[in-house]
């Protein structure tokens, strides 16, 4: 084809004008199955690049090979929503000179759009792409290998990066429509063996729980929603990751059918549960920044009312049109919640980074009703604590905390507490939950934090919210 943009990875990097010290970006739609970050960074190392800033929408267990590239000075700065596995462990122990900058998904979108996070070269994996760079996360041929559905987190990068390289494992005939990323934004197309393992998308934080405690919590969360005052015709809803919050959808469905109530839209990471309700006519539209499983990825390929949105349209604080501003109810999980309703979803109770901010603070702050679902204890680790290890979502945006020992309501929302009590739910003071946890586990010793700052948590408005210190063994 005339004007074909197909080149090798090395040619694409040379053509991009990438220099030492610049910022490269990636999306995380393949989650635990991602192959693009490791492939590209290995090539950059081989070509002798140093001192690069890696700005990913998120990183996970699969990115452990970055440890060697950090030690070798190829990568000296990281911006991400989350870190997991060995990479997170090493960084928590002080691997990097510069602290990792953590942003929410909406916060990253805003930072890219405003230029605060400037991307020099974006390397974006796509499930299908034509020779001019029209790219999609949906399959477009019988040869499709890696399907991720929505490319929402890659769209700000595609639009605002100085130079965009699309990597694909299925080069299809022009025109690859409908497209997510336009050829107008793409400089080079690189064909690789695989951009990701689709079977690993629903891994990590996303799992369908059979744990009886998760099911109990899910049923309680559904009761909170149904009796909250927000469960009425045309409501909107989002569920975060975590077994209980995903399972809650099943119980809400039963009440929607019984009471003849329909949702106008479901937002966020879209799951098979949400697709089912949509196909049953219970949810009008699906607004999808990230497809959490194969069913969601297939739905977005075929259903015109299952709409892909960018991270900016999804959750930016400073865009009036972002979907979180129209969101009624969100169910979220937590590693820790404290007596002031502050939530931590990033740093484990052992002080080691083991999670991701995701859309947690974006949706909690902007929704009309935010519900945190977490057990009182995970093993000996308390989930309701006097003070969170790291502040991610400020308590003013958190309305209800559901545990198996009772439901705590933010004192700022007395009307919700009244409605839940009237429905016969066990409403308790959050201080009592923290005390109950302490009575079972005893008083924990202080964590062995060092003096080095290994992470900086930005709030969704671009201000520093908290610092994460190194942990000393």
Partner 1 sequence: MEIKNAVAGTLESGDIMVQIAPGEGLQVELQSSVAAQFGRQIKAVITETLQGLGIDNASVKATDKGALDCTIRARVTAAAVRATGKDVWKD
> In the window 322-361, what residues touch partner 1 (CB under 8 A)?
349-351
Out of 71, 325, 380, 396, the residue judged to bind partner 1 by CB under 8 A: 380
Least Cβ distance, residue 179 to partner 1 (angstroms) = 45
Per-residue exposure over 427-446, b if at least 16 CB sit within 10 Å of its own CB, e if not: bbebeebbebbeeeeeeeee
Identified binder of partner 1 from the candidate list 447, 452, 456, 462, rule CB under 8 A: 447
Peptide bond into 175 cis (omega under 30): yes
**Two tokens, residue 346:** 């990033």
- Cα-trace Rg, the chain: 22
Residue 272 three-state SS? helix
Our finding on whether 212 is near partner 1 (CB under 8 A) is: no
Rounded Cα gap, residues 374 and 22, in angstroms:
40
Q: Does 192 bind partner 1 (CB under 8 A)?
A: no
Q: Is 440 in the site for partner 1 (CB under 8 A)?
A: yes
Among 71, 448, 450, 461, binds partner 1 (CB under 8 A): 448
Output the smallest distance, CB 444 to partner 1, in A.
4
Residue 32 found at the interface with partner 1 (CB under 8 A): no
Number of chain residues interacting with partner 1 (CB under 8 A): 16
42 versus 381: smaller Cβ distance to partner 1 = 381
Q: Does 450 bind partner 1 (CB under 8 A)?
A: no
Scanning 99-107, 191-199, 390-398, 435-443 for contacts with partner 1 by CB under 8 A, the matching segment is 435-443
289-292, Cβ contacts within 8 angstroms, sequence gap of 24 or more: 289/105, 289/150, 289/152, 289/153, 289/313, 289/314, 289/315, 289/359, 290/29, 290/149, 290/150, 290/152, 290/153, 291/29, 291/137, 291/148, 291/149, 291/150, 291/201, 292/201, 292/202, 292/206, 292/241
Binding of residue 262 to partner 1 (CB under 8 A)? no
Does the protein bind partner 1 through residue 43 (CB under 8 A)? no
For 23-46, give the secondary structure using H, E and C: EEEECCCCHHHECHHHHHHHHHHH
Residue closer to partner 1, measured from CB, 211 or 307: 211
* Closer of 145 and 207 to partner 1 (Cβ): 207
What is the rounded distance in angstroms from the CA atom of residue 393 to the CA atom of residue 107?
Answer: 12
Nearer to partner 1 by C-beta: 142 or 443?
Answer: 443
Among 2, 442, 451, 463, binds partner 1 (CB under 8 A): 442
For residue 61, the 8-state DSSP code is G
- Residue 434's contacts (CB-CB under 8 Å, 6 or more residues apart) are 338, 339, 382, 384, 385, 386
From 54-62, 189-197, 245-253, 440-448, give the range in contact with partner 1 by CB under 8 A: 440-448
The nearer residue to partner 1, 288 or 336, going by C-beta atoms, is 336
What is the rounded CA–CA span in Å between residue 175 and residue 135?
Answer: 10
- Least distance CB 240 / partner 1 (angstroms): 22
When asked if residue 261 is in the footprint of partner 1 (CB under 8 A), the reply is no
Among 378, 413, 421, 452, binds partner 1 (CB under 8 A): 378
52: β partners:
75
* Closest CB to partner 1 among residues 411, 448: 448
* Alpha-carbon span 266 to 297, nearest angstrom: 15
Backbone angles phi, psi at 455, to 5 degrees: -150, 145
Which spans of this chain sit near partner 1 (rule: CB under 8 A)? 349-351, 377-381, 440-442, 444-445, 447-448, 471
């Amino acid at each position: 084809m005339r004007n074909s943009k197909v080149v090798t990875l090395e040619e694409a990097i040379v053509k991009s004008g990438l220099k030492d010290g610049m910022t490269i970006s990636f999306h995380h739609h393949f989650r635990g199955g991602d192959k693009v970050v490791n492939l590209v960074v290995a090539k950059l190392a081989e070509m002798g690049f140093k001192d690069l800033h890696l700005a990913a929408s998120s990183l996970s267990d699969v990115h452990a090979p970055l440890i060697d590239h950090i030690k070798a000075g190829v990568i000296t700065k990281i911006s991400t929503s989350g870190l997991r596995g060995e990479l997170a462990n090493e960084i928590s122990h002080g691997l990097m000179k510069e602290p990792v900058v953590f942003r929410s998904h909406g916060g990253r979108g805003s930072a890219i759009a405003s230029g605060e996070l400037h991307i020099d070269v974006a390397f974006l994996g796509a499930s299908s792409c034509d020779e001019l760079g029209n790219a999609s996360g949906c399959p477009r041929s019988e040869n499709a290998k890696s399907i991720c559905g929505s490319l929402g987190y890659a769209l700000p990068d595609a639009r605002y990066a100085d130079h965009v390289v699309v990597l694909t494992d299925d080069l299809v005939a022009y025109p690859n429509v409908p497209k997510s990323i336009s050829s107008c934004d793409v400089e080079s197309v690189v064909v690789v063996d695989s951009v990701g393992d689709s079977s690993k998308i629903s891994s990590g934080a996303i799992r369908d729980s059979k744990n009886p405690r998760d099911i109990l919590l899910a049923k309680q969360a559904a009761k909170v929603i149904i009796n909250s005052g927000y469960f009425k015709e045309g409501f909107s809803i989002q569920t975060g990751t975590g077994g209980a919050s995903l399972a809650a959808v099943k119980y809400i469905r039963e009440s929607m059918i019984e009471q003849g109530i329909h949702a106008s839209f479901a937002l966020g990471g879209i799951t098979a549960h949400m697709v089912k309700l949509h196909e049953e006519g219970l949810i009008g539209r699906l607004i999808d920044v990230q497809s959490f499983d194969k069913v969601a990825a297939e739905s977005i390929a075929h259903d015109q009312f299952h709409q892909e949105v960018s991270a900016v349209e999804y959750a930016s604080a400073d865009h009036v049109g972002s979907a979180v501003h129209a969101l009624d109810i969100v169910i979220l999980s937590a590693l820790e919640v404290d007596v002031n309703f502050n939530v931590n979803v990033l740093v484990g109770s052992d002080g080691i980074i083991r999670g991701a901010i995701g859309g947690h603070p974006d949706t909690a702050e902007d929704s009309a009703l935010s519900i945190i679902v977490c057990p009182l204890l995970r093993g000996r680790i308390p989930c309701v604590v006097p003070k969170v290890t790291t502040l991610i979502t400020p308590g003013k945006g958190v309305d209800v905390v559901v545990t198996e020992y009772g439901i705590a309501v933010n004192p700022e929302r007395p009307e919700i507490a009244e409605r839940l009590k009237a429905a016969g739910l066990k409403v308790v003071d959050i201080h009592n939950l923290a005390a109950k946890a302490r009575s079972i586990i005893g008083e924990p010793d202080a964590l062995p934090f060092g003096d080095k700052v290994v992470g900086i948590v930005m709030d969704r408005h671009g201000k520093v919210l908290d610092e994460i210190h190194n942990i000393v063994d």
